[in-house]
Chains A and B, each alone.
Chain A
Amino acid sequence: MGKYSSWDFKKRDHDAKVNMNGDASVQVDKRRGRICEHADICKGYLDDQFNQIEELQDEVSPNFVEEVVALFFKDSSRLLANIERVLEKYPRDFSRLDSLMYQLIGSVSSIGALRMKNECTSFRDHCSDGNLEGCKRSFQKVKREYTTLKQKLEKYFQWLRQAGPVEQATNSRK
């Protein structure tokens, strides 16, 4: 597992220490590619599952992570819109709300969005309690987490792109 060797980023050892918009530097874990984990840009927002996704990226699917993330945001924005609509129209329909959120949680956890997942879980807890206000509050948090995560990942990908593919270079740190 882990096609790190083919990962562009690994080849950029000399750029490993990068300031990302003023964030702290990033250390690259060559073996597992835990860039995002170490980058403050994503710290706490993404868990190990995201690393798994990163590790699936290789020369065969060089944009895999971005594709999956794009897919996730598109699908989850739809689900969020659905939930929002139900909250407006059928606010007391907790089972429907719960079911919608359950769908969202599936992809949220698949992408490794830790904080968003936690908020989604608390939303479902409020649903099962029949706590509408709690649901609404939770939902606002979910949306906030979603937006934040989106921004962070966009920054992250931008950062990756800026680095650009670099020829393989030896590095003393390796």
Chain B
Amino acid sequence: MTIEERNGSMGRESGYRDQFPVGMRVLAVDDDPTCLKLLETLLIRCQYHVTTTGQAITALRMLRENRDRFDLVISDVHMPDMDGFKLLEHVGLEMDLPVIMLSANGETQAVMKGITHGACDYLLKPVRIEELRNIWQHVIRRRRFDSGQHNNFDSGEDAQNTQLMDSEGEQGVADRSGKLNKKRKEQNEEKDDDSDDSAENEDPSNQKKPRVVWTVELHRKFVAAVNQLGIDKAVPKRILDLMNVEKLTRENVASHLQKYRLYLKRLSAVTSQQANLAAALGGRSSSYINMGSFESFRNYHALGRSRQLPAVASVQPNGLLGRMNTPAVFGVHGLLPSQTIQVGRTHNSSNELEKLPTTSLSGMHQGSLLQGVPMSMQQPRVMQEASKHFPSGFPASGLANSFANTANNSLLPQADRMQMLSGGLGNYSSSVRIPFSDSDPFKTSLGESTQLTNIGRCNDTWQASVSSKYPASTLRINDSVSHPGITPCNLGGNITPTASQMDGDLLGETPHGLVASRLHDAMIGQDIQNQVASLSGSTIPIPSFDENSTSFNFRNSANSNQNLEEQRQDHTHNTDLMFSSSLNSSLPNLHLNDPIAQGHPLNSGFCSTPVLAQDCRVNRSTNEDLLSYKDDSALETTRSQNGLGCSLDDLVNAMLKSDREDATAYMDGDLGCDLYSLSTCM
């Protein structure tokens, strides 16, 4: 097998192959723009063809869109939207591309982690060009290994091979490649005669078969088959038979099995690590929860958005949550890749929001559900409120649950191992991710990942709300807000449970019965807003909430004669506006490109003044959905109510519509006046 032959079968652009490694297509992923730019230039200097992205989610999407688009992936370890190691696993499992890790951390432990996760190489920052000049070797090595491996499996000595690989699981690709190549030579002739395999291996160098997408469904079958056979006895041929999937070759199964075994080993290896970490970080359980729920929530949310299950091993539940033995966690957490990607896409997110408002909410609730034991006492209450209003959303979560359970059940035969796996991997990931999720608020314009972070932040919101005391009345909002150091997520969280509180209060005081339900309906928007708000991690300006409350009261009295609808709208509008303003105010690092966003808080009039005083900038893509719906609602409200009122419910609907253009224009003009007049009233 020659390089040229392999290249020839790889279907690459002509001319490129011959010059390999010149023109090798590299995907570089690093959230740090300085490092990314440097890396890009270095790679270009090495005459590679470079594509860069600052987000792992984008990278995964690009890789999934076209598996033949890249030869090599270089990824930073420390990334906010997804752990570099997780990306590494996804790429390894799904695309079988060589991945090089980059990190400023050169400790042995970290490097070992990279290796056990399957990285081809581990480079330290700052990267030097000399190190990059030779990275093409990883591409070649992998090709050789893959071809050798495929030949070996073709020979039919699967058991032997798997055992061989098993024993060498820790030794790395190169070693296995060496031994398997020996086997390959022995079996070459046999392979040619093997009719079963001949079609698949006519050309020994034709290793570039269409890549199999290991979707969640497929992987589930795979895992089920493996478990049925027993992990030690599972051979590709029998797995393939059990799976009974068309167009799946034994080689596909074999290579996937190999990765799976590696994966299991790694998970079991880190279990003790995880236990230690858990013990050491016992005091940071809230961080764990945050992170875990962030992850799981993200998964659930994405799951709620789409029925398609991601192509990831199901055994990737969040360890922390797994530790809490929440079955739902296991599967959900594993549902990362495509879901997170879907979540990440701004446009799709908004569209999906349109289509699945309830499911998205249910997703959020699922996230709350997953927050584990400590939350369990408080969660059900909030969940109850939500579930009252969004029963339809739960089928989606049910889907997630059922999948999770299936995944979990399929693991039961290997109960101990799997538990360790889920716990291990999850926690492992969690422990790595904790700082990230905490630092998420401090990330600036996340772009595509903003939605994801928003959703993730919803967990924080939920948690914050759950963990904080529910104000007994509407006015409590002020109380909670006035606590210095209260975070937007707390604030937002308070709003949510407060809503339920308010239901009773409002019902008693004024005809705001509908308002309560509206508030619940608006929770989606609220939470999303809160998520975005909480991104910054900073507090919502206190005056704004005071104003809001004041204005709310003001509005209540003013509107006492108005119909219920209007009042409801006002109420929800107030709340929404409060959120929008909080959204704006609490995101100092996010860039607010959209004048509407600025106009909207103005419209609300409550918090906008203090809010605008801050250097608040919100990433437009982040807030698109929020703003759009806010805009529309404000639009309608202004029209109908001749004032600042704005139905939160309308906002939610508007958000789903993504009819932003008109609203923008409208907003700018009208709301400004209203803002000032209202603010003066306060």
**Bound CA–CA A59/B280 (angstroms):** 53
Which A residues touch B435, using CB under 8 A?
A: 95-96, 98-100, 102
Contact A110 B35 (CB under 8 A): yes
Contact A75 B45 (CB under 8 A): no
Query: In the complex, what residue of chain B is closest to A88 when comparing beta carbons?
Result: B485
Known: A82-B442, A99-B436, A103-B78. A110 touches B129 (CB 8 A): no
Among A48-92, those with CB < 8 Å from B are: 49, 52-53, 56, 61, 64, 67-68, 71-72, 74-76, 78-79, 81-82, 85-86, 89
Q: Name B129's contact: one of A52, A61, A111 (CB within 8 Å).
A: A52
Q: Name A112's contact: one of B126, B281, B485, B589 (CB within 8 Å).
A: B126
Interface string of A94-110 (1 = CB under 8 A from B): 01101110110111011
Interface string of B96-132 (1 = CB under 8 A from A): 0000000011000000000000000000011111100
**Bound CA–CA A92/B126 (angstroms):** 30
- Does chain A have a CB within 8 A of B407? no
Known: A95-B287, A103-B78, A107-B32. A68 touches B37 (CB 8 A): yes
Q: Name B41's contact: one of A49, A61, A76, A102 (CB within 8 Å).
A: A61
- Does chain B have a CB within 8 A of A1? yes
Interface string of B442-457 (1 = CB under 8 A from A): 1010000000000000
**Bound CA–CA A77/B452 (angstroms):** 24
Interface residue count on the A side (C-beta < 8 Å)? 36
Shortest CB-to-CB span from A75 to chain B, Å, is: 5
**Which interface residue of A61, A99, A106 has the most chain B CB atoms within 10 A?**
A106
**Bound CA–CA A67/B130 (angstroms):** 22
Contact B589 A110 (CB under 8 A): no
- Does chain A have a CB within 8 A of B33? yes
Known: A95-B435, A96-B435, A96-B439. A75 touches B34 (CB 8 A): yes
Which A residues touch B537, using CB under 8 A?
A: 85-86, 89
Shortest CB-to-CB span from B468 to chain A, Å, is: 16
**Bound CA–CA A98/B589 (angstroms):** 20
Q: Which residues of B contact A (CB under 8 A)?
A: 31-35, 37-38, 41-42, 45, 76, 78, 104-105, 125-130, 281, 284, 287, 434-436, 438-439, 442, 444, 485, 537-539, 589
25 inter-chain pairs at a CB distance below 8 angstroms, sorted by A residue, are: A1-B129, A52-B129, A68-B34, A72-B34, A74-B33, A85-B537, A95-B281, A95-B284, A95-B434, A95-B438, A96-B435, A96-B439, A99-B436, A99-B438, A100-B439, A100-B442, A102-B78, A102-B435, A106-B125, A107-B32, A109-B104, A110-B34, A110-B125, A110-B126, A111-B126
A-B pairs, 8 with minimum CB distance: A99-B435, A82-B442, A107-B34, A106-B104, A110-B126, A72-B34, A96-B438, A110-B35
Q: A1-B130, A68-B38, A99-B436 are in contact. List 13 more A-B contacts (CB 8 A).
A: A56-B41, A67-B37, A68-B37, A74-B33, A78-B442, A78-B444, A86-B442, A95-B287, A99-B439, A102-B78, A105-B104, A109-B104, A110-B127
